[in-house]
A = this chain, B = another copy of it.
Amino acid sequence: MVVVLKNEATQEQLDNLIGWLEEQKVLVHISKGEYHTILGLVGNTTAIDTDLIEGLEIVESVKRISEPFKNANRKFHPEDSVIDCSGIKIGGGNFAIIAGPCSVESEAQVLEIATKVKASGASMLRGGAFKPRTSPYDFQGLRAEGIELLLEAKKETGMPIVTEIMSAHHLPLFENVDVIQVGARNMQNFELLKELGRTSKPILLKRGLANTLKELLMSAEYIMAGGNENIILCERGIRTFETYTRNTLDLSAVPMLKELSHLPVVIDPSHASGIARLVKPMALAAAAAGADGLMIEVHNDPQHALCDGPQSLTPEQFDDVAKRVFAIRKTISELD
């Protein structure tokens, strides 16, 4: 950590600050310049609250050198984490496609999609039971009943299921769910993260629309600090000024997160653009960039598609995407 002091700091103020810092068990090196004095803090600075130091009148700015996340940090855990999702592995070279409908609607719908995406190579089934919607007047999901329908499809197909939680209240309903998803809007619902830290289930943690990669890792750290280290990170597009696409997929998150952390990184190209015809190129790009998995929305019946979002593929389109994704992964791995 580097602390830059204002020039008008008195020697007494300086001594007080250094004394306090040394009590926190960090070493302090001083560089005095004409316009600034710089303090270099070395040692374990994770527990030092930067806001607290920035609040001091004599301090101009504070900059962390070490990242403030510890459990999620690759520096302290150099090997890739491999997350076991009821038998399906993800991370450390294991690649998985999670596919399924935006919203769970009926037993027939879920089962048909599950069967088809499994045949195309998907290894996990996704489906929305609790749906976060911007408007209170939009369809909010089948909720508990939706989870039941997913569990039926799991029984039939053997695919582990992934579905979103919106409140810690609902945790008992997720007992047989294989992977619990935290959506973008709840990425900093810290009370929910703490509760999930007390479970042992894999958590698929989506990046918030306006959250930095550091904040995503700090939210993972909330869950890990509670004891649950089974985290899958997911990039699903961030909010920018561009309006042709709903969000802007930040694919550099893949190599960047994998450099900073040992956790696996999955890309959701469906939510990222909000446009079905962009899912294919973005899925291929994600595979080429080294993602550990993909999460793709698939709907079953384009003729009666009134209830499907503009970002879903048909099973046939999904089959085509999956084939190419696997081919790209094979090409890359043969060159390694």
Binding site for B on A (CB under 8 A): 2, 4, 20, 27, 29-36, 38, 40, 42-43, 46-47, 49, 51-52, 54-57, 60-61, 63, 65-66, 68-69, 75, 132-139, 166-169, 185-186, 188-192, 194, 208-210, 212-215, 218, 221-222, 225, 238-245, 248-252, 254-256, 259-260, 272-273, 277-278, 281-282, 284-290, 302, 305-312, 323-324, 327-328, 330-332, 335
Contact = CB atoms under 8 A, between A and B. Distances in A.
Contact of A328 (B132, B169, B288): B288
> Which residue among A136, A166, A259 has the maximum number of chain B CB atoms within 10 Å of its CB?
A136
A210 B238 CA distance: 10
Contact of A251 (B213, B218, B249): B249
Contacts of A243: 212, 214, 243
Contacts of A250: 240, 242, 248-249
A214 B243 CA distance: 9
Contacts of A240: 238, 240-241, 248, 250
A185 B190 CA distance: 9
Contacts of A311: 55
B225 A136 contact: yes
Contacts of A189: 166, 185-186, 189
A137 B192 CA distance: 16
Contact of A302 (B57, B167, B256, B282): B57
How many copies of this chain? 4
A311 B186 CA distance: 26
A256 B274 CA distance: 12
B42 A214 contact: no
B68 A137 contact: yes
Contact of A42 (B34, B186, B244, B288): B34
A168 B331 CA distance: 45
20 contacts: A31-B40, A33-B40, A36-B42, A54-B309, A56-B306, A132-B188, A136-B190, A136-B218, A136-B221, A136-B225, A166-B189, A167-B168, A210-B239, A244-B260, A251-B251, A251-B285, A281-B288, A285-B285, A327-B335, A328-B332
A309 B51 contact: yes
Given A135-B218, A137-B68, A213-B242, A40 B40 contact: yes
Nearest to A290: B281
> Which residue among A56, A133, A135, A305 has the maximum number of chain B CB atoms within 10 Å of its CB?
A135
Contacts of A310: 51, 54-55
A72 B174 CA distance: 35
Nearest to A54: B310
Nearest to A71: B136
Nearest to A137: B47
A212 B51 contact: no
Given A31-B31, A209-B210, A255-B277, 9 more contacts: A4-B65, A33-B40, A55-B312, A60-B65, A132-B190, A168-B169, A210-B210, A210-B241, A252-B281
